[in-house]
Copies of this chain bind each other. A is one copy, B any other.
Amino acid sequence: MSDSEFDLIQDFFSGLDQGASVRLGIGDDAAALSLPEGHLLHISTDTAVEGVHFLASLPPADVAYRSTMAAASDLAAMGAAPLALLLSLTLPEADRVWLEGFYRGLAEVCNALGVPLVGGDTTRGSLSLTVTVLGSTPADRFLTRSGAQPGDRLCVSGTLGDAAAGLAVLSEQLAVDESVAAFLTTRYKRPAARLALGEALRSCATSCIDVSDGLLADAAHVATASGVGLEIDSVLLPLSEAMGSLADSERSLNWALAGGDDYELLFTLPSSMPLPSGCTEMGRVVAGSGISCDRTPERIGYDHFRR
């Protein structure tokens, strides 16, 4: 193959740029998109660096899938419907096999999200990806971190800690049965942004954030933004069957409290509102500040510069 930057982009990324909102896709100086009338645009960008945000051994399809889904999770936290994405890829060499795997994962995640890839850049350097996601909501109906009120119920979707345990399996820090390993590693490699839930929460939740840095770290962002305290009951944390099967329950609880990368939604609900299906109430909003939990994990959250 020709290894020129332009050919790379042409060959690998230009087939995913079709969609109802796309007026101009890949190949010009910028993409052009239409937004539903009266809607707001929501936009977020996330960089994933090899060795920091994902294992060097992770197959390229999973690198593409996981990084893109992680970025889309920020739209779920706003209650936004995804509109399009852009991908900037920096890689040390133009390796066709690697790029083909990466493209497969990218096509899969675009399909799962139902969005076109409308732009990007390909540059030479250490492997990293920056994914920019665009979404939309009606102008006055979106979620933020800042609306939690004392008396609200603190809730979370799905189960917690699976991705962190899956990462431990992949990095040979945890040995488990094949079926448990498959579940946990899939939760790490193929997360699912809770986009439908996010949209549903627009009509009931008072605040929302996605669990990317770890439950306690992300809950702390909500507490700070809302000017409230959050109380978490560790016994109520939703654990998957796989997590429940692990021998070291202390370690599981640590992952549930402090492991990142689950991409579930943490949200607050007025007490009058019914709990959405698939979600768990595991605490409450109180007057005050900060997080209180009956258990303290070994490492709170995830912070690149403290690692």
Q: Are B30 and A305 in contact (CB under 8 A)?
A: no
Interface centre among A77, A84, A86, A128 (most CB of B within 10 A): A128
Q: Please pick, from B32, B130, B145, B225, the residue contacting A88 in the complex, using a CB distance under 8 A.
A: B130
CB neighbours (8 Å) of A34 from chain B are 40-41, 139
**For chain A residues 139-182, which have a beta carbon within 8 Å of chain B?**
139, 142, 144-146
Q: Assuming A3-B306, A4-B305, A305-B4, is B30 touching A225 (CB within 8 A)? A: no
Q: Are A304 and B123 in contact (CB under 8 A)?
A: yes
Q: Assuming A121-B47, A128-B90, is B28 touching A144 (CB within 8 A)? A: yes
How big is the A interface, by class?
Answer: 35 or more
A241 within 8 A of B: no
Interface centre among A43, A48, A135 (most CB of B within 10 A): A43
CB neighbours (8 Å) of A75 from chain B are 29-30
**For chain A residues 74-124, which have a beta carbon within 8 Å of chain B?**
74-75, 77-78, 80, 84, 86, 88, 90, 93-94, 118-121, 123-124
Q: Are A118 and B52 in contact (CB under 8 A)?
A: no
A45 within 8 A of B: yes
List the number of copies, as a whole number. Answer: 2
CB neighbours (8 Å) of A45 from chain B are 86, 88, 119-121, 130, 132
Q: A120 to chain B: closest CB distance in Å?
A: 6
Docked pose: A210 CA to B46 CA in angstroms: 27
Point out residues on A near B: beta carbons under 8 Å: 3-6, 8, 23-24, 27-35, 37, 40-49, 51-53, 74-75, 77-78, 80, 84, 86, 88, 90, 93-94, 118-121, 123-126, 128, 130, 132-135, 137, 139, 142, 144-146, 208-210, 225, 303-307
7 further interface pairs, Cβ-Cβ under 8 Å (given A23-B40, A43-B119, A49-B125): A32-B137, A33-B43, A45-B86, A52-B125, A86-B132, A94-B305, A121-B130
Minimum-distance CB pairs A-B, first 6: A30-B44, A29-B77, A49-B125, A130-B130, A29-B74, A30-B42
